[in-house]
Amino acid sequence: MSTQTISKSNTWKGGNSPFNVSYGKLMMWIFLLSDAFTFSSLLIGYGAIRYSFPSTPIEQIEELQLSFGENVQEKFAHGADAHHGEFFIPALRDAGVFSESQWPSPDLVFNHFPFAHGLHLPLIFVSLMTLILILSSVTMVLGVEAGQRGDKNAVTKWMFWTIIGGFAFLSCQAWEWTNFITAGATPWANPYGPPTFAALFFLVTGFHGFHVFSGVVLNIVIFINNINGTYERRGHYEMVEKVGLYWHFVDLVWVFVFTFFYLI
Amino acid sequence: MSTPNQNIDIHDEKNYDPTVWVPKAHSHGTKDIWLKFWILLGLTIVDVAFYFLMVPSMARNIIFIALGVIKAVYIVGTFMHMKHEKLSLATMIVLPMFFIIFFLVWMMYEGNFWGTF
């Protein structure tokens, strides 16, 4: 690297860096803005398509008389063996609640929880996923804070927990997808209603999940570099901050995916 | 990884080299981070409460989006350190997103009329 440097007076009158951030961090911010546009286009498309279908009428849902934590497989099995076979979806299709002509209510679709087969637990699992991602964002920012103090061991510790959080979230998403796929959903078929619902679910959560996966890979790279002392030798831990920005962005996108797919 | 050139000061303001220059890092402590974690957790619970206590409507959707924006403010401001950055940088990144929020609500409303005209 050349030791020749640029004099401040030769650059411009705004100072060395008008934004007072390094080149790499500025580029990360601009990348995140462009990535935000990509996700926004998906969510805008989702919002428009979702409301081009009528919502499930509230009276139809009230007629089912579902209570929180109730075993809905047994309820609709009518004496048959509730542990083998699916009874909830066919019953709701017969009742016209799940129909091609109306958008399914998310609490009737995403009502599963691991080790609680057949129980009606709407939004609990996705809230847990949100908690996991927010927590891993907190451990990431604690790692960044440790880097600002130059505390190498603390960075290692917090990066470790961030990676664990990332894997936990990915596992949850894999479980969610498995549930959805075994119910018969594909990008072109959906037992809960319009096929577009499944297509958009796979597209948007898949796109977000791939971002989480990339984030975990980047976090592992940072974790190994930090153990090897790369940032200690460099004199600053800004690489942790830059990857941290990406990781928080993934968390931020999840906030909106959660809002659009599970609440709206 | 090559060994860094010891002759270059990475924080040098006078003889600035854009390929290595980074501003000096300052820690803002962990108290604020944990406070924002509890706020984010609380807002998520408020989201779920609204879901079960309010009948679906466009007004409820706008509440959800507003709560999402409040969460975004805390994530971007505190976790991504935006509130400690220069106003010019914050404006450059945040301003376009306001138009996106507007567009989100607009297209949700617009979707209602698809196939009915």
Stretch among A219-223, B16-20, B73-77, B86-90 having the lowest mean pLDDT: B16-20
The model's confidence at residue B1, banded by pLDDT at 50, 70 and 90, is very low
Classify A244 in phi/psi space as left (phi over 0), alpha (psi -120 to 50) or beta.
Answer: alpha
Spell out the per-residue pLDDT of chain A, length 264, in tens: 445 555 544 545 555 677 888 889 999 999 999 999 999 999 999 999 999 999 999 899 888 888 888 888 888 888 787 777 788 999 999 999 999 999 999 989 999 999 988 899 999 999 999 999 999 999 999 999 999 999 999 999 999 999 999 999 999 999 999 999 999 999 999 999 999 999 999 999 999 999 999 999 999 999 999 999 999 998 899 999 999 999 999 999 999 999 999 998
A140 burial via Cβ count (<10 Å: 0-12, 13-18, 19+) = buried
Residues carrying CATH 1.20.120.80, chain A = 17-52+123-263
Q: Which residue of A has its CA nearest to B51?
A: A263
ipTM: 0.89
Q: Provide the shortest C-alpha distance from residue B21 to chain A (in Å).
A: 6
Distances (CA, A) of B71 to A84, B10, B36, B38: 42, 35, 9, 11
- Return the beta strands (E) in B1-117 as ranges: 15-16
By Cβ distance, the residue of A40, A51, A259 closest to B64 is A259
* Residues of chain A positioned with their CB less than 8 A from the CB of B65: 259
* Residues of chain B positioned with their CB less than 8 A from the CB of A23: 18-19, 21
Contact A133, A165 (CB under 8 A): yes
Radius of gyration of the CA atoms of chain A, in A: 23
Domain A17-52+123-263, CATH number (from 1.10.150.120, 3.40.50.150, 1.10.3720.10, 1.20.120.80): 1.20.120.80
CA distance A24 to A8: 20
